[in-house]
Amino acid sequence: MRIEGASALVAGGASGLGAATSRALHEAGASVVIADLNSEKGEALASELGDRASFVEANVMETEQVQAAVDAAAEADGGLRISVCCAGIGWATRVTGKQGPHDLEIFHNVIKVNLIGTFNVLRLACTAMNENEPDEGGERGVCVNTASIAAWDGQIGQVAYAASKGGVVGLTLPAARDMASRGIRVMTIAPGLFDTPLLAALPEEQREALGAGIPFPSRLGLPEEYAELAIHIVENQMLNGEAVRLDGALRMPPK
Protein backbone atom coordinates (compact mmCIF):
# COMPACT_ATOMS: atom_id res chain seq x y z
CA MET A 1 0.00 0.00 0.00
CA ARG A 2 1.35 3.39 -1.00
CA ILE A 3 1.19 5.78 1.97
CA GLU A 4 1.80 9.02 0.14
CA GLY A 5 -1.52 10.47 -0.98
CA ALA A 6 -3.61 8.06 1.14
CA SER A 7 -5.79 8.93 4.12
CA ALA A 8 -5.13 7.29 7.50
CA LEU A 9 -7.10 6.96 10.73
CA VAL A 10 -5.20 6.50 13.99
CA ALA A 11 -7.46 5.61 16.93
CA GLY A 12 -5.81 6.45 20.23
CA GLY A 13 -3.59 8.65 18.11
CA ALA A 14 -2.95 11.56 20.48
CA SER A 15 -0.22 10.07 22.69
CA GLY A 16 2.25 7.22 23.08
CA LEU A 17 2.29 4.61 20.32
CA GLY A 18 -0.59 6.30 18.51
CA ALA A 19 1.04 9.74 18.43
CA ALA A 20 4.27 8.28 17.06
CA THR A 21 2.28 6.48 14.37
CA SER A 22 0.32 9.62 13.49
CA ARG A 23 3.60 11.49 13.03
CA ALA A 24 5.20 8.71 10.97
CA LEU A 25 2.22 8.35 8.63
CA HIS A 26 2.02 12.12 8.18
CA GLU A 27 5.75 12.33 7.44
CA ALA A 28 5.31 9.57 4.85
CA GLY A 29 2.75 11.70 3.03
CA ALA A 30 -0.62 10.52 4.36
CA SER A 31 -3.51 12.69 5.44
CA VAL A 32 -4.00 11.71 9.08
CA VAL A 33 -7.16 11.79 11.19
CA ILE A 34 -6.24 11.54 14.87
CA ALA A 35 -9.09 10.02 16.91
CA ASP A 36 -8.78 10.14 20.68
CA LEU A 37 -10.65 10.89 23.90
CA ASN A 38 -8.07 13.51 24.90
CA SER A 39 -9.08 16.54 22.87
CA GLU A 40 -6.32 18.75 24.29
CA LYS A 41 -3.53 16.42 23.19
CA GLY A 42 -5.28 15.49 19.96
CA GLU A 43 -5.81 19.07 18.84
CA ALA A 44 -2.26 19.98 19.84
CA LEU A 45 -0.81 17.15 17.75
CA ALA A 46 -2.98 17.98 14.75
CA SER A 47 -1.87 21.61 15.02
CA GLU A 48 1.77 20.53 15.28
CA LEU A 49 1.51 18.38 12.16
CA GLY A 50 -0.35 21.10 10.24
CA ASP A 51 -1.67 20.48 6.74
CA ARG A 52 -3.13 17.00 6.14
CA ALA A 53 -3.79 16.45 9.86
CA SER A 54 -7.03 16.77 11.79
CA PHE A 55 -8.48 15.67 15.12
CA VAL A 56 -11.81 14.01 15.91
CA GLU A 57 -12.77 13.37 19.52
CA ALA A 58 -13.82 9.72 19.71
CA ASN A 59 -14.32 6.95 22.23
CA VAL A 60 -13.68 3.60 20.53
CA MET A 61 -16.69 2.14 22.35
CA GLU A 62 -19.08 4.72 20.85
CA THR A 63 -20.08 3.74 17.33
CA GLU A 64 -21.30 7.19 16.28
CA GLN A 65 -18.04 8.81 17.36
CA VAL A 66 -15.89 6.21 15.62
CA GLN A 67 -18.05 6.51 12.51
CA ALA A 68 -17.50 10.28 12.50
CA ALA A 69 -13.73 9.71 12.60
CA VAL A 70 -13.94 7.10 9.83
CA ASP A 71 -16.06 9.45 7.72
CA ALA A 72 -13.54 12.27 8.20
CA ALA A 73 -10.75 10.00 6.99
CA ALA A 74 -12.83 8.62 4.10
CA GLU A 75 -13.60 12.15 2.89
CA ALA A 76 -9.94 13.24 2.97
CA ASP A 77 -7.79 13.15 -0.16
CA GLY A 78 -7.02 9.59 -1.21
CA GLY A 79 -9.84 8.03 0.82
CA LEU A 80 -9.41 5.92 3.95
CA ARG A 81 -6.83 3.27 3.14
CA ILE A 82 -4.93 2.92 6.43
CA SER A 83 -6.38 2.33 9.90
CA VAL A 84 -4.26 1.89 13.02
CA CYS A 85 -5.90 1.25 16.41
CA CYS A 86 -3.76 1.98 19.47
CA ALA A 87 -6.56 2.74 21.96
CA GLY A 88 -6.59 0.66 25.14
CA ILE A 89 -6.57 0.55 28.92
CA GLY A 90 -4.89 -1.64 31.55
CA TRP A 91 -5.83 -3.01 34.97
CA ALA A 92 -4.14 -5.18 37.59
CA THR A 93 -6.28 -7.45 39.77
CA ARG A 94 -6.04 -11.16 40.59
CA VAL A 95 -8.89 -13.56 39.94
CA THR A 96 -9.56 -13.51 43.66
CA GLY A 97 -7.75 -12.33 46.78
CA LYS A 98 -8.12 -10.71 50.18
CA GLN A 99 -10.68 -8.27 48.81
CA GLY A 100 -12.74 -11.06 47.25
CA PRO A 101 -13.28 -11.97 43.60
CA HIS A 102 -12.14 -9.85 40.66
CA ASP A 103 -14.66 -7.07 40.03
CA LEU A 104 -16.74 -8.28 37.08
CA GLU A 105 -17.48 -4.78 35.83
CA ILE A 106 -13.78 -3.94 35.66
CA PHE A 107 -13.15 -7.14 33.70
CA HIS A 108 -16.02 -6.23 31.39
CA ASN A 109 -14.72 -2.68 30.84
CA VAL A 110 -11.20 -3.83 29.94
CA ILE A 111 -12.64 -6.31 27.44
CA LYS A 112 -15.01 -3.66 26.10
CA VAL A 113 -12.33 -1.03 25.48
CA ASN A 114 -9.43 -3.22 24.34
CA LEU A 115 -11.23 -5.92 22.39
CA ILE A 116 -14.69 -4.65 21.46
CA GLY A 117 -13.38 -1.11 20.91
CA THR A 118 -10.66 -2.42 18.59
CA PHE A 119 -13.23 -4.45 16.67
CA ASN A 120 -15.51 -1.42 16.46
CA VAL A 121 -12.77 0.56 14.74
CA LEU A 122 -11.88 -2.40 12.53
CA ARG A 123 -15.41 -3.13 11.29
CA LEU A 124 -16.20 0.51 10.50
CA ALA A 125 -12.84 1.16 8.85
CA CYS A 126 -13.18 -1.97 6.72
CA THR A 127 -16.68 -0.91 5.65
CA ALA A 128 -15.32 2.42 4.41
CA MET A 129 -12.31 0.77 2.73
CA ASN A 130 -14.63 -1.65 0.99
CA GLU A 131 -15.87 1.24 -1.16
CA ASN A 132 -12.38 2.16 -2.38
CA GLU A 133 -11.18 1.42 -5.87
CA PRO A 134 -8.36 -1.12 -5.65
CA ASP A 135 -4.85 0.19 -6.27
CA GLU A 136 -2.43 -1.28 -8.81
CA GLY A 137 -1.73 -4.15 -6.39
CA GLY A 138 -5.43 -4.89 -5.87
CA GLU A 139 -5.47 -3.40 -2.36
CA ARG A 140 -8.27 -1.34 -0.90
CA GLY A 141 -6.87 -0.89 2.59
CA VAL A 142 -4.75 -2.03 5.54
CA CYS A 143 -5.81 -2.27 9.19
CA VAL A 144 -3.26 -2.55 12.01
CA ASN A 145 -4.46 -3.41 15.51
CA THR A 146 -2.54 -3.35 18.78
CA ALA A 147 -2.36 -6.31 21.16
CA SER A 148 0.41 -6.99 23.70
CA ILE A 149 2.81 -9.77 24.56
CA ALA A 150 0.46 -10.24 27.54
CA ALA A 151 -1.72 -12.12 25.06
CA TRP A 152 0.80 -14.98 25.47
CA ASP A 153 2.72 -14.04 28.65
CA GLY A 154 0.06 -12.57 30.91
CA GLN A 155 1.42 -11.87 34.37
CA ILE A 156 -0.15 -12.20 37.80
CA GLY A 157 -3.00 -9.70 38.01
CA GLN A 158 -3.30 -9.34 34.22
CA VAL A 159 -6.21 -11.70 33.66
CA ALA A 160 -8.50 -9.02 32.19
CA TYR A 161 -5.78 -7.32 30.16
CA ALA A 162 -4.35 -10.57 28.83
CA ALA A 163 -7.81 -11.84 27.89
CA SER A 164 -8.58 -8.64 26.00
CA LYS A 165 -5.29 -8.63 24.09
CA GLY A 166 -5.55 -12.36 23.44
CA GLY A 167 -8.88 -11.61 21.79
CA VAL A 168 -7.25 -9.05 19.50
CA VAL A 169 -4.64 -11.62 18.47
CA GLY A 170 -7.35 -14.23 17.95
CA LEU A 171 -9.48 -12.12 15.62
CA THR A 172 -6.57 -11.16 13.37
CA LEU A 173 -6.51 -14.19 11.07
CA PRO A 174 -10.27 -14.63 10.63
CA ALA A 175 -10.67 -10.89 10.01
CA ALA A 176 -7.92 -11.04 7.38
CA ARG A 177 -9.65 -14.00 5.77
CA ASP A 178 -12.98 -12.17 5.86
CA MET A 179 -11.53 -9.19 4.01
CA ALA A 180 -9.11 -10.97 1.66
CA SER A 181 -11.50 -11.06 -1.29
CA ARG A 182 -11.83 -7.26 -1.03
CA GLY A 183 -8.11 -6.60 -0.93
CA ILE A 184 -8.06 -5.40 2.69
CA ARG A 185 -5.29 -6.68 4.94
CA VAL A 186 -5.55 -7.05 8.74
CA MET A 187 -2.49 -7.22 10.99
CA THR A 188 -1.71 -6.91 14.70
CA ILE A 189 1.35 -5.59 16.51
CA ALA A 190 1.97 -7.01 19.99
CA PRO A 191 4.38 -4.66 21.81
CA GLY A 192 6.42 -5.60 24.86
CA LEU A 193 7.60 -2.97 27.34
CA PHE A 194 7.47 0.43 25.64
CA ASP A 195 8.29 3.91 26.86
CA THR A 196 4.71 5.21 26.85
CA PRO A 197 2.92 7.65 29.21
CA LEU A 198 1.89 4.67 31.36
CA LEU A 199 5.50 3.75 32.16
CA ALA A 200 6.62 7.38 32.25
CA ALA A 201 4.88 7.69 35.61
CA LEU A 202 7.27 5.16 37.18
CA PRO A 203 10.50 6.22 38.94
CA GLU A 204 13.53 6.22 36.62
CA GLU A 205 15.20 3.44 38.63
CA GLN A 206 12.19 1.19 38.09
CA ARG A 207 12.03 2.07 34.38
CA GLU A 208 15.70 1.16 33.97
CA ALA A 209 15.15 -2.14 35.79
CA LEU A 210 12.29 -3.02 33.44
CA GLY A 211 14.45 -2.25 30.41
CA ALA A 212 17.36 -4.29 31.78
CA GLY A 213 15.16 -7.38 31.80
CA ILE A 214 14.75 -7.29 28.02
CA PRO A 215 17.29 -9.60 26.30
CA PHE A 216 18.24 -7.22 23.48
CA PRO A 217 18.12 -4.32 23.21
CA SER A 218 18.10 -4.04 27.01
CA ARG A 219 15.93 -0.96 27.21
CA LEU A 220 12.32 0.06 26.87
CA GLY A 221 10.97 0.13 23.35
CA LEU A 222 10.45 3.50 21.72
CA PRO A 223 7.05 4.54 20.34
CA GLU A 224 8.86 5.40 17.10
CA GLU A 225 9.85 1.74 16.77
CA TYR A 226 6.21 0.72 16.95
CA ALA A 227 5.45 3.33 14.28
CA GLU A 228 8.25 2.02 12.06
CA LEU A 229 6.72 -1.47 12.15
CA ALA A 230 3.25 -0.07 11.43
CA ILE A 231 4.66 1.75 8.38
CA HIS A 232 6.38 -1.42 7.17
CA ILE A 233 3.19 -3.45 7.56
CA VAL A 234 1.27 -0.92 5.48
CA GLU A 235 3.91 -1.02 2.74
CA ASN A 236 4.56 -4.79 2.68
CA GLN A 237 1.70 -6.51 0.89
CA MET A 238 2.63 -10.01 2.04
CA LEU A 239 2.06 -9.15 5.69
CA ASN A 240 -1.49 -10.26 6.41
CA GLY A 241 -3.39 -12.17 9.08
CA GLU A 242 -0.53 -12.25 11.59
CA ALA A 243 0.28 -10.88 15.05
CA VAL A 244 3.89 -9.70 15.26
CA ARG A 245 5.64 -9.51 18.64
CA LEU A 246 7.74 -6.36 19.04
CA ASP A 247 9.54 -7.08 22.29
CA GLY A 248 13.32 -7.54 22.02
CA ALA A 249 12.89 -11.29 22.71
CA LEU A 250 11.23 -10.61 26.07
CA ARG A 251 9.13 -13.37 27.62
CA MET A 252 7.34 -11.98 30.65
CA PRO A 253 7.83 -13.83 33.97
CA PRO A 254 4.82 -14.54 36.22
CA LYS A 255 5.39 -11.25 38.05
pLDDT at position 196: 86
Q: Which residues contact 16 (CB under 8 A, 6 or more apart)?
A: 86, 194, 196, 197, 198, 223
Beta pairing partners, 96: 101
Instruction: Give the pLDDT confidence of 119-148 residue by residue, as tens digits.
Output: 999 999 999 999 999 999 999 999 999 999
The pTM of this model reads 0.96
Whether the CB-CB separation of 222 and 195 falls below 8 Å is answered with yes
User: What count of residues does the chain have?
Assistant: 255
Residue 179 CA to residue 86 CA, distance in Å, equals 21
Instruction: Give the pLDDT confidence of 28-47 residue by residue, as tens digits.
Output: 999 999 999 999 999 999 99
pLDDT at residue 103 greater than cutoff 80: yes
Work out the pLDDT band at 170, boundaries 50, 70, 90. Answer: very high
Work out the pLDDT band at 187, boundaries 50, 70, 90. Answer: very high
Question: Which domains does the chain carry?
Answer: 7-193+222-246 (3.40.50.720)
pLDDT at position 186: 98
pLDDT at residue 52 greater than cutoff 90: yes
Q: What percent of the chain has pLDDT over 90?
A: 91
Around 247, how many Cα atoms within 13 Å sit in the side-chain half-sphere? Answer: 21
Work out the pLDDT band at 255, boundaries 50, 70, 90. Answer: confident
Catalytic residue list: 161
| Mean pLDDT, range 76-101, rounded to an integer | 94
Instruction: Give the pLDDT confidence of 15-31 residue by residue, as tens digits.
Output: 999 999 999 999 999 99
Q: Which DSSP symbol is given to 221?
A: B
pLDDT at residue 201 greater than cutoff 80: no
Whether the CB-CB separation of 189 and 147 falls below 8 Å is answered with yes
| Mean pLDDT, range 52-69, rounded to an integer | 98
